[in-house]
Homo-oligomer: A and B are copies of this chain.
Amino acid sequence: MMVISAQEEKLDPRVRRTQAFIQEAFLALLEEKGFQSITVREITERAEINRSTFYAHYPDTYGLLDATLQDIFRKELEHNALSVCHYSLENVRALMITVCKFIRQSQSNCKTPDSQFELMIEKQVRKQSQALLEMWLEKLGADLDVKSVAVATSWTIYGLAAQWNQDSKRPAVEVYTDRVLPLITANLPGD
């Protein structure tokens, strides 16, 4: 699998190649073992680059995780065309489903339940959900505190999605989403 970083245009091809190698190796390792036990050395050996080169791109494995999650979740949103559409309750529902699936998939790879790893997913998912909601509500031009509503709603979405993910008897995403959607849209304009 080829991973291309955020700004893939007008970037030194050496940099692009190296970062792609690193992220590839990293994702492969994540399938095999817990995040905490992955070392910079392992990553660079698998990526077949020099270890010191790693530090020219990321401060440490946490920085790499952050950047990687940002990239793949952004791709996920784009894939579902959510980044290019407008506000509607239907799209909020689609966002919730996307978030649920993303968390589920990310966790399923990581065998060792890792607190830091989960928190990093949460950070990226929530950040981008908030940006999306802000954009939607801004375009809507309704009379409300866009920022605060976007914050409240994005945190609610993540929280409920994470709850679903932890639930032992996990209903179908759509079923669960429809059940909790009123909680999510409580502060949103009614279409």
Contact = CB atoms under 8 A, between A and B. Distances in A.
A115 interface: yes
A62 B126 CA distance: 22
Nearest to A162: B151
Chain A binding surface, main DSSP class:
helix
A180 B160 CA distance: 20
Contacts of A152: 156, 159-160, 180, 183-184
Contacts of A58: none
Interface of A: 62, 66, 115-116, 119-120, 122-123, 126, 145, 147-149, 151-152, 154-156, 158-160, 163, 179-180, 182-184, 186-187
Given A119-B119, A152-B159, 8 more contacts: A148-B160, A148-B180, A148-B183, A151-B159, A152-B180, A152-B183, A182-B187, A186-B187
29 contacts: A62-B115, A62-B116, A115-B123, A116-B116, A116-B119, A119-B119, A119-B120, A119-B123, A126-B159, A145-B180, A147-B163, A148-B160, A148-B163, A148-B180, A148-B183, A149-B183, A151-B159, A151-B163, A152-B156, A152-B159, A152-B180, A152-B184, A155-B158, A155-B159, A155-B160, A156-B156, A182-B187, A183-B187, A186-B186
